[in-house]
Each structure stands twice: as structure tokens, then as C-alpha cells.
Structure 1
């Protein structure tokens, strides 16, 4: 089973200096992309509390004036970078669940693409999974929206399972919360690159509540025998 969705580059290539005849909107898009990439890198390296606007501008090679033309403050830039990271992952998850009618296949693809996305960009993993807790109430609200979205995805794909419990939505919410906590712990320990190694055990955890220990054990063994699917 292949990867669903590919990790997109965080920023466009820097435009050449001087008079280049490039439209103003393209210049602005390039600047914004470089700033967001700088936010991800700076927050990944220094944390939200330690990162500064100066970190963003120096890494993006833009002036403070340019930064404030795009973002009101440090938090606004963080939220934009968080949304971009989260949207990429959630889009890949939606594709995974829409590609299969079978819950097991969709769950495996969804987990696989999430783990690969985060492992491919450890700084983005730090920003989206760990540092979101340090960025204020609005960041936590957006995280909560993502949890609801993921809960709805799982609920939608398990509601017709004969083994599904009456509280399928609550079970789905519990699964999402547990998986996010595992990811948080690993990323916080600097183990983002190793996240794909968690696929067999996480797959067991998301299957067992709906299909039972025996089926979950069987699917975990399949991943261990053939990680590529």
C-alpha cells in the first residue's frame, strides 16, 4: 500500500534581487512562502517561546517591514504556518479515507501518510504537534477543530461496522486523542524521523476498538511482514 499524498515543499524558491519584472503578487507570494518556511524552521529549532520575528526575517531574507506587510505579529505568522501544515496532513488523510470503503485499509493509509508527512519534516512536526500548545488559545482552538475533523472521519467510516459500539463517535475521539498523545511524546523527544516505525502498533490501536483483538493482531502482523503494503 503506497503513500497517500506527498510532502510539499514549504516555500517557493527565492526570487532574484533587483529589477526582475516579476508581478507584485508573485513577489508577495514568494515572500510569504519564505516567511512561513522560516517560521517552521525557527519554531522547530527554538520553540514558539524562543523564536522571534527577527528569527523569521533573517531566515526568510526579508525586512521587518516586509514581515509586517504579511503578518500582524509573531502569533499570526505561527497560526498561518500551523494552518498550512495541518491542511497538508488533513488533506492527505481525507484522500486516504476516501480511497477505500474498507476501514482497515483506509486506517492503514491514513496512519502511514501521517507518519511519513511528519517524519519528512521534523520542524513542521514540532510546530504542529508540540509547539501548538505554547501559541495561545487560538492555536488550541484550531487544534480542537482538527481533532473534531479526524474524529468525524473515523466515525463516518466505522458507523456501519457490525462490531461498532453505540458510542462510536466517542471511541473515535478517544483514538484520535491517544494517537496524538503518542505522536506528541515522540516528537518532543526528538524522534520525529522514527515515526513511521510506529505504524504496526498504532494500526492495532485504531482497529481493535472496532474489530477486536484478533483482527487487529492480524493486521499488525501484516504490516510487520510487509511494511510497504
Structure 2
């Protein structure tokens, strides 16, 4: 999902410290992005302020505006990092297997674990993106497109794949995101890994049928906790 949001941000020492300017800038930018994730995750996009970001990051308003034009620009950068972290994990899971079931199981498992480990990032990336304006929604749509293409490619050669496989994949992505939205909005991000068996059934059944999906759901219920 990029930018995690530790509560204790380590700042570079003030004054002359001999650290290259680009390293200082990277450190400041990273702290601001982490602060955005924490503030938006806790307060929501509408209520989070630039002052929230600067105080959490330990930087001045001047420093903030050296890196970001406004609150939304900082949010979009944080969102991109959060989303890329998840998409990369899913892409790696799909590329590790030729089998759709194994790919889907690993992709779901790593996604749910990643979101549960960082509830603020889950809130920012899944819930608060809807409050951040048209550009944020456009980027969300792009993520959905990427995930749809991954599933479509993985299921292309399945004997049961229907001509509308791409539409089916898009429907699966949308349904999973809706389930995650509801849980995260209720403050249940930490429990997301418990959804693995049922979500696995949902992403397998349209392509491999009820019987196979039920079998894999039962197996997922007995996976050891990671």
C-alpha cells in the first residue's frame, strides 16, 4: 500500500548537520505523507487540515508548501503510495502462480493482511478517497482498471471462462471493494483477514463454479494465522 504512519516521526537534527539537501527533502516529504495518512485515517479528509499534517510531521507550513501545493495534492500523493503498495502486492501474488485459485487466494490474503496492519492507510485508500474530489476518484477508477486486467488475464485460459470475463472481473473487484469499504468504515480494518474464506469463494465461483469455490473456501478456513 509506500507510506505508513508511525506515531513517532524521527526528525533530522536541526541546524548544520551535513546531510545532503535532497536527503533532507526526501525525509521531509516522507514524514508529511505519513502524517497525511495518519491524520486522514483518524479525522477524515474533510476535517484533516494542513496544520494536522505539519504538526504530525514536525515541519513548518513553509516546508509543507515547498513539497505540496495544497491539502489535496498531499492526499493524492499519499493515496498513490497506499494504492501502489496494494497493487504491487496483488500483482506479485498473481505473477507467482499459473493457477487462478492459488493466485486469488494469495492476492486476497496479502491484501487483507496489508490493510489490517495499517488501518489509517485502509481508511484513506478505501473510504476517504470518495471525499477527496474528482481527481481522487479518477485515480481510484484507474486502480480498479488495473485489478480488473490482472484477473482477466489470469482467467483468460480457464475452460469455464465466459466471453464476458472482463466484465465479470470488474464486477468482482467492485464487490470486494464494497465489502472492504463497509468494514473499514465501521472501524473493523483489523478484522479484515477473517474475510478471506468468504471473499475467496466470491472471486472463484464466477469462473470455477459453486463446488470448487466451496471446496477452496473450506480450505481457507483452516489456513494457519500469519
The residue number in structure 1 matching 2:140 is 143
Q: Which residue of 2 aligns with 1:126?
A: 123
CA distance in 2, matches of 1:227, 1:157: 26
Pick one of 181, 200, 219 that aligns with 1:203.
200
Taking structure 1 as the reference length, what is the TM-score of the superposition?
A: 0.95
**Superposed CA RMSD:** 1.5
Which residue number in structure 1 is paired with residue 211 of structure 2? Answer: 214
Alpha-carbon distance change, 221 to 7 in structure 1, aligned in 2, over 3 angstroms:
farther
Cα distance in 1, alignment partners of residues 12 and 148 from structure 2: 41
TM-score (norm 2): 0.96
Distance 2:98 2:124 in 1: 32
Report deviation, 1:7. 8.0
Distance in structure 2 (CA, Å) of the matches to 1:106 and 1:81: 27
Residue 224 of structure 1 and its aligned partner are, at CA, apart by: 1.0
- Aligned match of 1:103: 100
- After TM superposition, the structure 1 = structure 2 runs for residues 6-155 of structure 1, keeping only pairs within 5 Å, are 9-10=4-5, 13-155=10-152
SS across alignment from 2:46: helix
Unaligned runs of 5+ in 1: 1-5
Aligned-residue offset at 1:228: 4.8
TM superposition shift of 1:14: 2.3
The change in CA–CA distance for 1:200 and 1:7 in structure 2 (over 3 A counts) is farther
For residue 18 of structure 1, report the CA deviation from its aligned partner.
2.1
Structure 1 partner of 2:179: 182
Aligned to 1:171: 168
The offset of 1:102, in angstroms, is: 0.2
Give 3-state SS (helix, strand or coil) of 1:48's partner. Answer: coil
Contact 1:13–1:30 under 8 Å retained in 2: no
Cα distance change, pair 158–196 in 1 and its aligned pair in 2 (3 A): same
Distance 1:25 1:121, change over 3 A: same
Across the two proteins, how many residue pairs are aligned to each other?
Answer: 224
Structure 2: distance between partners of 1:109 and 1:118: 14
CA gap 1:148/1:9 in 2 versus in 1, 3 angstroms:
same
Q: Does the aligned pair in 2 maintain the 1:10–1:33 contact within 8 Å?
A: no
Unaligned runs of 5+ in 2: none
